[in-house]
Amino acid sequence: MAERGETAPRRKALVTGAARPDGIGAAIARRLEAAGLEVVTLDIAPGCTFQADLTADELPPLHDIDVLASNAGLPTVFGGAHSMSLEKWKRDLDVNLTGSFRVIQACLRGMRERGFGRIVVISSFAALYGMPAQVAYSASKAGLLGMVKTIAAENAGRGVTANAILPGLVASAGVLAMPKEIIDAWQDRIPTGRMVATEEIAEAVAYFASEAAASTTGQELLIDGGQTLNPLSVTGSVVRSMPPQ
């Protein structure tokens, strides 16, 4: 704690999976910088402060990280439970679950010593509801939720919080590059009528990372435009198409 008349030290944040300028990680980094944090980034791809494979490479020193936004993940391993190879299964869990754990562990010791830390993990709505043809992805994202709750419980008395954000369909460049008919079909299933913006995810991270969120820990926040709600009325019509009363 700073003495009277002294300026409090600037918090330092790490955002993983931030190499793509149009992705969730880059949006989080921009938002945390706007909040006044010193932000460093990490990705397997070039363009970040650190470049590393979270599954195998030695991690840079992370003992001075106060805020961790664990966003790095692998969303492109497809396969049903009856056909997915063990190699693909392991790759998904290694990146999405074990990679996230490695970074959290590297940051957590310093957070505990200083009595302050904010850990925000980007999971997925698939963690709660599954996703056909992505059994390993869904399992890895569900594993993050158990990890977050355990870390939250272990560190609640040490000034360290841990929370998870569960995005639905996000309007990132990778998704928007899909054929228009697929995008339209997906959007038709979202009650708000549009995909989630990367900035909306970043705004939630900024709250969990803030001083004001000191009593918010072990929580799961769905940001999916109502995608996991039942939008049908008893007459079979879609709620958002019903006329105002």
Residues catalogued as catalytic = 137
Could you tell me if 74 and 17 are in contact, meaning their C-beta atoms sit under 8 angstroms apart? no
DSSP-derived 3-state class of residue 49 = coil
What gap in Å lies between CA 98 and CA 102, rounded to an integer?
Answer: 6
Q: How far is CA 209 from the centre of its chain?
A: 12
Q: Which residues pair with 120 in a beta bridge?
A: 69, 163
Longest dimension (CA), the chain: 65
Q: Which residues pair with 39 in a beta bridge?
A: 13
CA distances from 164 to 58, 182, 219 (A): 25, 28, 6
Q: Which two tokens stand for residue 136?
A: 């390993």
Q: Which residues pair with 164 in a beta bridge?
A: 121, 220
Could you tell me if 123 and 146 are in contact, meaning their C-beta atoms sit under 8 angstroms apart? no
Kindly report the backbone phi and psi dihedral angles of residue 68, in degrees, each rounded to the nearest multiple of 5, phi listed first: -115, 125
Question: Number of C-alpha atoms within 13 angstroms, CB side, residue 223?
Answer: 22
